[in-house]
Structure 1
Amino acid sequence: MTTQTDDPLPDLLRRLRAAVPIDRARAARDLGRLGWLARDAIPALVRAADDADGKVREAATQALGQMGPEALPPLKLMLRHDDKYVRRQAVWALGRLGPLARPALAAVCEALRDADPRTASGAAQALGNMGADGADAVPALAEAMRGTNIVLCRLAAKALSQIGFPALATLITHLQHTDPFVRGESALALGWMGAAARPAVPYLAKLVRGSSGRGLADTPPPGSSLSGFGAGSGAVTPTAPAAATEATADDTCRVYAAQALGKMGAAAAAALPELTAASRHGPDPLRDAARQAARLVEGA
């Protein structure tokens, strides 16, 4: 009688060196399914990430991402791999690690500027998943919001909302940006923060009134709960609004601002006059958004 072992690792490591690429890729995927139990295969998977076959490289990197925090060092290095599919899998794996990926924060911030849009977007999501541990990424995310990739702008704004208080001043300042899309995404992000974004209420109310930020003070007023914010918080220098902005884009900003105020509930009570006025005299669909927001604020 032959003795069989219950450990599949030796066989999978052997298959990872198979002559046929599809067999190597399958072995990598099977190692990934084992997750942390296959952590001894990390060195072999790192080598497989440089395989001559692209499918094997991608499968090996994906498997590394299922190994847990022990795979953090090689995943960090793979953010600079020549193969964009390897970089994508690496940044997505780091995103799944959440706050545990904090040691790779600088490398993930660099990935925000990756030429591959999906890698850059994955970097924004990974930074957001770090939560407050990603506070040092605020300046890089603020820069990403101001780029030409609208998907990255939205994901960077979402990440800033997940970081929370350290990103608050940056999001408020972005309500004054010349690009209406940036203003709108900033308003949405502040809404995702809920009552924690209370210092943004007067700025969002200004948007609801139909201003793109014109006339807002560059520094917080005396006694404001924003006092003490500075460059260290990730704030950016406000820019003068464009002379003309398409009405539809500006109206969308107003809708997003109203929705954000509604999500803040009672914390946005100071904006009720603006919401009431917009619900009566604003354009569609602002009237409905302002009406609903006012009900949420009053009923909270």
Structure 2
Amino acid sequence: MTTADDPLPALIRELRSQSPADRTRAAKDLGRLGWLAREALPALVGALQDDDAKVRESAAHAVGLMGPEALPALVEMLGHDDKYVRRNAVWALGKLGPLARPALNDLCLALKDADPRTASGAAQALGGLGADGADAVPPLAEAMRGTNIVLCRLAAKALSQIGPPALATLIAHLQHADPFIRGESALAIGWMGGTARSAVPFLARVVRGPESALVRTPGPLSKTPTAIVPPDSDTTTPPQINDSGDASADVNCRVYAAQALGRIGPAAIGALADLRDASLGAPESVRQAAEQAIRHIQGL
């Protein structure tokens, strides 16, 4: 039983109950209290070693709700044997945003976690650091070139959130041999908006199509796009979505590059001729994206 005035002592005692169900319930109740239960943080950290998986997961989630004071514990959790503990750690670090900057190196290591969701969560957390995550650009670039499609997409998004320090890397990836990576790079550059104006000539080349592309860096075989794994999924390999191959992927690259130019806006005025040329005789999706980009650039 807990008291209305101070439930913490009783909840901490319940974390040591003989009943796994009671221990799980206590961890969840402490999590609901959030930072108000920060005095229970040592007990919750101890519960991360519980023999019961549900207790460990509930305790990990509760630790993640304790705010910045839990940062040292969250970093330690990144090395836990239980993937659910690690998943909760990257989730919580992501919620901390720039306050998670001391965990940058550990999050970079987590990009290579054997659990795909932990690795993807680490990318999201690094993106949440914004410009403070500049040191994470090389590991995120490497993550984009791996075989985890979801991680590639989230790493690209993180690079866009880091901003100008990551722009050169994203421009380089526009020249990658893998069309999926090229497309994700174009999308990420578009998310950066007008700050990505130096990417305009490179995006314009992608819009014009493979025949005008720059010399591409070697890379792995083209990826097949995949669906993002739901948060409660245990699937280690994301389900595949049918794709018609490299030709379709190249068309997607052109579409994403055109959309990126549109998002850059008036600063992409130098690409108008390329967009107009691309709309002539191109696949319908490229034509529509190019025409829409022209309107955005001209402020119509």
TM-score by length of 1: 0.88
Report the Cα distance in structure 1 between the residues aligned to 2:166 and 2:68, rounded to whole angstroms.
Answer: 26
Note the alpha carbon deviations across 1:59-118, whole angstroms, 9 max, x for none: 101100000111000110110111111110111111110100100100000000000000
Which residue of structure 1 lines up, in the alignment, with residue 118 of structure 2? 119
Q: Is 2:179 aligned against 1:201?
A: no
Matches within 5 A, 1:259-298: 259-298=259-298
Match of 1:239 in 2: 217
Q: Secondary structure, in 3 states, of the residue corresponding to 1:280?
A: coil
Gaps of at least 5 residues in structure 1 are 217-237
Distance 1:241 1:52, change over 3 A: closer
**Residue type of the partner of 1:7?**
D
The Cα offsets for residues 237-267 of structure 1, whole Å up to 9 and x where unpaired, read as x615899982111111000000000111101
Deviation at 1:215, TM superposition (A): 3.4
Query: Are positions 1:24 and 2:27 aligned together?
Result: no
Q: Please name the residue that 1:129 is paired with.
A: 128
RMSD: 1.8
In structure 2, the residue corresponding to 1:281 is in which secondary structure?
A: coil
TM-score by length of 2: 0.88
Shift of 1:280: 2.6
Q: 1:213 to 1:9 in 2, by over 3 A?
A: farther
Match of 2:275, as an amino acid?
Answer: L
Cα distance in 2 for partners of 1:104, 1:213 equals 42
Letter in 1 for 2:90: V
Contact 1:212 1:250 in 2 (8 A): no
- 1:284 Cα deviation (Å)? 1.9
- The amino acid of 1:254's aligned partner reads R
Q: Provide the residue aligned with 1:227 in structure 2.
A: none
Pairwise mapping of residues 180-259 of structure 1 onto structure 2 (< 5 A)? Answer: 180-211=179-210, 214-215=213-214, 239-240=217-218, 246-259=246-259
1:19 aligned partner, one-letter code: Q
Residues 1:242 and 1:12: Cα distance change in structure 2 (over 3 Å): closer
Give SS of 1:299's match: coil
Please name the residue that 1:72 is paired with: 71
What letter is aligned with 2:44? L
- Asked if the contact 1:45–1:60 (Cα under 8 Å) also holds between the matched residues in 2, the reply is yes
Asked whether the 8 Å contact 2:205–2:214 carries over to 1, the reply is no
Maintained 8 Å contact 1:176/1:213: no
- Contact 1:214 1:240 (8 Å CA) reproduced: no
> Structure 1 pair 298/121, CA: closer, same or farther in 2 (3 Å)?
same
User: Partner residue of 2:60?
Assistant: 61
CA distance in 2, matches of 1:48, 1:298: 59
1:163-185 superposed Cα distances (whole Å, 9 cap, x missing partner): 00110100000000010000000
Q: Does 1:155 align with 2:133?
A: no
Change (3 A) 1:295 1:60: same
Q: 1:282 deviation in Å? A: 1.3
User: 1:50 Cα deviation (Å)?
Assistant: 0.7
1:1-12 → structure 2 map (5 Å cutoff): 6-12=5-11
Contact 1:176 1:212 in 2 (8 A): no
Judge conservation of contact 2:178–2:221 (CA < 8 Å) in 1.
Answer: no
Aligned length, in residue pairs: 276
Alignment-derived partner of residue 242 in structure 2: none
Q: 1:281 Cα deviation (Å)?
A: 2.3
In 1, are the aligned partners of 2:206 and 2:213 still within 8 Å (CA)? Answer: no
**Contact 1:61 1:90 (C-alpha < 8 Å) held by counterparts:** yes
Task: State the alpha-carbon separation in 1 of the partners of residues 67 and 34 from structure 2.
Answer: 7
Task: Tell me the distance in 1 between the aligned counterparts of 2:4 and 2:60.
Answer: 27
Q: Which residue of 1 aligns with 2:47?
A: 48
Percentage identity across paired residues of the two chains: 68
* Pair 212,259 (structure 1): closer, same or farther in 2 beyond 3 Å: farther
